[in-house]
Amino acid sequence: MVPLDETDRRLLDDFQRDLPLEPRPYAAMARELGLEEAEVIARLAALQDCGAISRIGAVVRPNTAGRSTLAAMAVPADRLEEVGALVAALPEVNHCYEREHRLNLWFVVTAAGAVGVAAALARAAAATGLPVLDLPLEAEYRIDLGFPLRWT
C-alpha cells in the first residue's frame, strides 16, 4: 500500500458522503481543499490505481434508477482471490466483499433492468464455474455506507 498524505486522507474521509452535486464536482472538491481540479482528479486516479478505492460515484436507493440485487457465492478458500477478481471486474458489480460464512463472497449487481441483472449474474457464474445465489431486495433499510477512517 502506498502511504497516503493528509490531502489523500481528506479526499477519502471528507467526500465519502455529500459528493458535490454540480456539473464539476471535482472543481468543488478542489475549492474546499485548496487545490486545482486537475490535482483532485489525479489524486483520485492514483488512489484508485493503488487500490485504496475501487470506484467513485453516487450510490442511489436500490431499484430507483434501474435494477439491483445482492448476490452471494460459496467459493473454495483457495479460489477466493481469483473468483473475487473475476466478479469485481464485471461492469455491473459496484462492490464485492468477503464474508465469514459458507457463502463467503458477496456482491451487488446494478443494471438498467431485470434482464441486465440476470445476465450479469449468469456471466459471473459462467466466468467462475460456481453457482450464484440471487438475493433480491424484499425490504429496504437505510444503511449509511460512509464511516470515519482510522489512520495509523
pLDDT tens series, the chain, 152 aa: 567 888 998 888 888 877 888 999 999 999 999 999 999 999 999 998 888 887 787 766 666 777 899 999 999 999 999 999 999 999 999 889 999 999 999 999 999 999 999 999 999 999 999 999 999 988 777 666 666 676 66
Residues 37 and 90 in one domain: no
Strands 67-73 and 105-111, by their bridges, are antiparallel
User: Looking at the domain assignment, is residue 152 inside a domain?
Assistant: no
The CATH number given to whatever domain includes residue 112 is 3.30.70.3460
Give the chain's length. Answer: 152
Total of domains in the chain: 2
Q: Is residue 54 part of a domain?
A: no
Q: Does residue 31 form part of some domain?
A: yes
Q: Is residue 103 part of a domain?
A: yes
Range of the domain at 129: 67-135
Q: Are residues 121 and 79 in the same domain?
A: yes
| pLDDT of amino acid 101 | 94
Burial class (CB in 10 A: 0-12, 13-18, 19+), 94: middle
- Report the number of secondary-structure helices (H) and strands (E) in the chain: 5, 4
Is residue 142 in some structural domain? Answer: no
The pLDDT of residue 143: 65
Q: What pLDDT, on a 0 to 100 scale, did the predictor assign at position 140?
A: 74
- Could you tell me the pTM of the whole model? 0.61
In a domain, 129, yes or no: yes
Q: Is residue 56 a part of any domain in this protein?
A: no
80 and 38 in one domain? no
The pLDDT, as a whole number, for residue 15 is 84
Asked if 45 and 76 sit in the same domain, the reply is: no
Task: Supply φ then ψ for residue 128, to 5 degrees.
Answer: -105, -20
Residues 78 and 130 occupy one common structural domain: yes
Same domain for 85 and 126? Answer: yes
Residues 35 and 82 in one domain: no
Which ranges constitute the DSSP H helices of 34-90? 37-49, 80-88
CA contacts within 13 A on the Cβ side of 127: 16
Residue 102: inside a domain? yes
**What pLDDT is stored for residue 56 in this prediction?**
81
Please provide the distance, in angstroms rounded to a whole number, between the alpha carbons at the two ends of the chain.
13
